[in-house]
């Protein structure tokens, strides 16, 4: 199967600075790839290059079958990007922003209401001007645009920043749904705890090049700092969404979200927990 993203020795310049100094990256369709690395390693540049925003001046670059070196703009319609700054107009309301983005990309407007509901932006928030929202809410709006547009390639740049626990869970669900619909996801992140559970593979970047790669079997569960509730349930009985320390052993099937990252509670190893 043709890969969704194929970069070989790709070089990209911003001004005179080589943001990408020879990157090799392959992502298959339906894969979730996490890019990690220190600041300035080139994670954002890889995402921008795949969106056709950063021109590739050396090597090969093919995204979704489009040659990025010759026609960088042809890939843009099929790509959805969640960047540091949200592509939203402050003066327009949430629904107006989403509607503009969706209509611009040629996607149908029927998915908008569903996307807004999914991300908790229904009701009063729909009509609020984006400029009045908090950073986390703006992230949600940007995410709603992606959900409504359903692009074939998702490029997420530090998506977990500014999101609260509930929103992070939502992000994980949304990403998983997108992938099961055939999309490919590239995710750049500084927070391994949040992003690793989603990943199929992790690529490490430094100095504009790839310095390492490893595969993970994907964990369907999303790691979130869970809410502690008193153990009203009896040992062996687990309620969805509740952490019961020490009760669940590796290999036990637990419905819902479970893992906890606080060191006091033995964390579950990724891969040992399966969603029923």
Q: Which two tokens stand for residue 125?
A: 């928030």
Question: Smallest distance, Å, CB 101 to another protein?
Answer: 6
CB of 48 to another protein, least distance (A): 8
Taking the C-alpha atoms of residue 89 and residue 257, their distance in angstroms, rounded to an integer, is 35
Q: Which of 27, 81, 179, 223: binder of another protein (CB under 8 A)?
A: 81
Per CB under 8 A, does 15 bind another protein? yes
Site for another protein contains 124 (CB under 8 A): no
Angle at CA of residue 172, ends 257 and 124, nearest 5°? 100
From CA 231, how far away is CA 243, in angstroms rounded? Answer: 8
- 72 touching another protein, by CB under 8 A: yes
Angle of helix 165-180 relative to helix 135-149, nearest 10 degrees, comes to: 10
Which region, judged by CB under 8 A, interacts with another protein, from 103-111, 171-179, 188-196, 235-243?
103-111
Burial class (CB in 10 A: 0-12, 13-18, 19+), 6: buried
Q: Residue 95, interface with another protein (CB under 8 A)?
A: no
Structure tokens at 53: 């925003």
Q: Does 100 bind another protein (CB under 8 A)?
A: yes
Question: What is the end-to-end Cα distance of the chain in Å, rounded?
Answer: 30
Residue 43 binds another protein (CB under 8 A): no
**Pick from 95, 133, 137: nearest CA to 112:** 95
Which member of 29, 30, 120, 207 binds another protein (CB under 8 A)?
Answer: 207
Among positions 96, 113, 200, 272, the unique one binding another protein when judged by CB under 8 A = 96
* Long-range pairs, 70-75, Cβ under 8 A, ≥24: 75/50, 75/51
- Contact segment (CB under 8 A) with another protein among 83-91, 177-185, 237-245, 267-275 equals 83-91
**Judged by CB under 8 A, does residue 152 bind another protein?**
no
Helix 135-149 vs helix 111-118: crossing angle, to nearest 10: 140
Using the rule CB under 8 A, is 101 a contact of another protein? Answer: yes
**Binding flag, residue 126, another protein (CB under 8 A):** no
For residue 117, state whether it binds another protein (rule: CB under 8 A).
Answer: no
Of 32, 50, 187, 210, the one binding another protein by CB under 8 A: 210
Whole-angstrom Cα distance, residue 117 to residue 149?
15
Stretch that binds another protein, among 86-94, 178-186, 233-241, 258-266 (CB under 8 A): 86-94
Between 106 and 246, name the residue whose CB sits nearer to another protein. Answer: 106
Structure tokens at 250: 């590796």
Could you tell me the sign of the dihedral formed by the alpha carbons of 215, 216, 218, 223, in that order?
A: negative
Nearer CB in complex with another protein: 104/253: 104
Which residues would be at the binding site for another protein (CB under 8 A)? 8-9, 11-18, 21-22, 24, 40-41, 48, 51-55, 57-59, 72-73, 76-77, 79-81, 83-89, 91-92, 96, 100-101, 103-106, 129, 206-213
């Amino acid at each position: 199967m043709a890969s969704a993203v194929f970069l070989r020795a790709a070089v990209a310049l911003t001004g005179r600075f080589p943001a990408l100094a020879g990157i090799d990256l392959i992502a298959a369709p339906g894969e979730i790839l996490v890019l990690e690395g220190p600041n300035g390693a080139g994670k954002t540049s890889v995402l921008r290059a795949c969106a056709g925003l950063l021109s590739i001046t050396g090597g090969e670059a093919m995204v979704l079958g489009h040659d990025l070196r010759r026609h960088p703009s042809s890939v843009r319609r099929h790509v959805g990007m969640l960047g540091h700054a949200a592509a939203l107009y402050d003066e327009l309301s949430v629904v107006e922003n989403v509607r503009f983005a969706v209509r611009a990309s040629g996607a149908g407007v029927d998915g908008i209401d569903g996307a807004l509901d999914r991300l908790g932006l229904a009701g009063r928030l729909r009509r609020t001007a984006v400029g009045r929202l908090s950073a986390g809410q703006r992230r949600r709006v940007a995410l709603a645009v992606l959900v409504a547009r359903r692009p074939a390639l998702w490029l997420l740049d530090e998506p977990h920043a500014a999101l609260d626990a509930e929103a992070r869970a939502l992000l994980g669900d949304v990403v998983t749904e997108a992938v099961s619909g055939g999309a490919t996801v590239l995710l750049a992140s500084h927070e391994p705890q949040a992003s690793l559970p989603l990943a199929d593979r992790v690529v490490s970047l430094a100095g504009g090049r790839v310095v390492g790669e490893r595969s993970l079997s994907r964990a369907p569960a999303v790691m979130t700092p869970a809410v502690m509730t008193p153990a009203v349930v009896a040992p062996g009985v687990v309620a969805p969404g509740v952490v019961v320390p020490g009760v669940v052993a590796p290999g036990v099937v637990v419905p819902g979200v479970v893992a906890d990252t606080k060191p006091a509670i033995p964390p579950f190893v990724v891969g040992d927990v399966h969603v029923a």
